[in-house]
Amino acid sequence: MSTGEPDRDYLAIVTFGRSGSTALQAALNAHPQTIIRGENYNALRGLHAYVDAVAAAADRHNSGKPHHPWFGTARLDAPAVLADQRRHVITHLLRPKADTRWLGFKEVRYEIGHFADADGLTDYLLFLNALLPGVRYVINVRDPKAAARSGWWRKHPDAVSALERTVEHLGAAADTLTDVLGPGRVALTEYEQWSADPSALVSALTSIGFPVQQALLRESLATHLEHGHNSERR
């Protein structure tokens, strides 16, 4: 791997709020040599836009002349920028320990309020693969009607519709990622299934190569998580 740490794998939890994502994060973190960080306000989306802009400027212009409107583009190096961003993200955002084997984060800001369509969502998720080579995706969904009754979704003017479209987009993204990246990279999980039967989550994580320890996972999922006034699995 270009990170210089060939024994490290990456994992991203891709979901929406009130979907069981914190319980899922905790279940992964219960495993040794695993660090899955929490939400970061989709900070990496800004890096995506930055790399895209640098790549576009380098591709469309090639000037080293100080009087040219695109002065400096001749020496732009998008792959070098991406490699530098990778080092930054690992060091300052994900912060692995010396023995960390699985590293990643979860994010819930994938609903249509953040990504208007499945194509834009998929494009960003593919950027994560460029940034964190070989990243595995756990795309987690929940029944829209159930999620809409939970937490702050109750204040959303059209929560069920927004969540239905989000679930559709996440499913489409999972299919496209599998088509592009091949098998063993994407697990599409459903909260209702794995919260009722942890073996469903065991199977999903095993399918992407995560070294599941069933006892640790089941013990973690049996632990009730507190979220203030909206206490429940999230």
Q: What is the pLDDT along the chain (234 residues), one digit of tens a residue?
A: 444 555 899 999 999 999 999 999 999 999 999 999 999 999 999 999 999 999 998 888 876 778 778 887 888 899 999 999 999 999 999 999 999 999 999 999 999 999 999 999 999 999 999 999 999 999 999 999 999 998 888 888 899 999 999 999 999 999 999 999 999 999 999 999 999 999 999 999 999 999 999 999 999 999 865 544 444 444
Question: Cα separations (Å) of 100 from 70, 95, 96, 216?
Answer: 43, 9, 6, 17
- In angstroms, rounded to a whole number, what is the distance separating the alpha carbons of residues 168 and 176? 12
Collapsed DSSP state (helix, strand, coil) of residue 187: strand
Helices (H), the chain: 21-29, 44-60, 78-88, 118-131, 144-148, 159-181, 191-196, 198-207, 214-221
| pTM (predicted TM-score) | 0.91
Q: How big is the CA angle at 20 (ends 22 and 213), to the nearest 5 degrees?
A: 70
From 169, 146, 195, 152, select the one nearest 24 (Cα to Cα). 195
pLDDT at 64: 72
pLDDT at 7: 86
Q: Which amino acid is at 75?
A: R
pLDDT at 58: 86
**Contact status, residue 155 vs residue 205, Cβ threshold 8 Å:** no
pLDDT at 165: 97
Q: Take residue 90 and report the two structure tokens written for it.
A: 């690992």
CA 196, distance to chain mean position in Å, is: 24
Q: Take residue 147 and report the two structure tokens written for it.
A: 């999620």
pLDDT at 88: 97
pLDDT at 3: 45
Q: Take residue 11 and report the two structure tokens written for it.
A: 């994992």
**Contact status, residue 187 vs residue 205, Cβ threshold 8 Å:** yes
